[in-house]
Structure 1
Amino acid sequence: MKIVIVSDTHMPRKERGLPEPLRNDLMDSDLIIHGGDFQTFDVYEEFKKYGELIAVVGNVDRVELKSMLPKRRIIEKKGLKIGIVHGDGKGKTTEKRALEAFEDEDVDIIIFGHSHIPFSRFMKGILLFNPGSPTDKRKLPYYSHGILTIKKTWKIEHIFYQ
């Protein structure tokens, strides 16, 4: 199973279309997880054209997305429990806010966004993963998204591009 992980697309403000490396991965994915900040409903709909989309709302998403998407959710794929949250809020780091969003839950991975900074680290026995942004790298050298592959075991990685 190939899961594309993306967050912080901020379209159309930052970009007019999805970058080619992301589109290529979306075309052969089994599932898409978006960690929020599509910005508009049209961008949400664009992701749905590529396949099954599971998403949470981000802090800059428009009102129609805020009314239909949860702030956090847990899904299970092939025995792997995945928590998804945008990670915005006051105080603490984005990583700590993401971890706290699931502190009373039994999850294996927490996918989050908000900071636009690619992140992959175990904290308290849970892998925290931020895919970065495919359209708004800020001061970082590369744009990015993530791929979670689940077979007999699982692996997660960042895909970087210019």
Structure 2
Amino acid sequence: MLITPLGAIKLFVNDEEVGFTAIKLDFELHCRDVNGRYLIQYEYKSEMKNQEIKCCIPSLDVKGEIESGESLEAVSYYRNDIKLTIGVEGEFTDEAKYIDYGGGYLSNGIQYVTNHTTSDRKFYFGVCWIQPLTEENDIQTWFGADPTLM
């Protein structure tokens, strides 16, 4: 479990909570003012077949805002002067590029969805938050939660 200012991050596979290790990452040029930046890895094996791999904050009670980019799907949550972003590698709407897995946004997080053609791989979730949030530093959690930049 990873504790954030908006609640505990949890990982679920087919609605069963699973343990994980959150790797604390350094702050970089594009996210130098953030308070927390973590990478969560999930090892998927093809024999596990169809899975929904969810990274979420079950206790979250605020509406998320989608902040996707090229090869990045991300959702951000705001409360008072806090912004928290959860990001995954992929493009949920580009079936040709990521044909063997998909994903989706949740009311309290984000998920990967595997299918019968998904090959062995690691799925990554980036989690990043900043406080106090300002107009000038708002974009930093987007960079900080991008798994391709970790």
Same fold, judged at TM 0.5 (above): no
Q: Which has the higher strand share?
A: 2
Return the structure number with greater helix share: 1
Q: Which has the higher contact order (CA 8 A, sep 6+)?
A: 2
TM-score (norm 1): 0.27
Task: Report the TM-score when normalising by structure 2.
Answer: 0.28
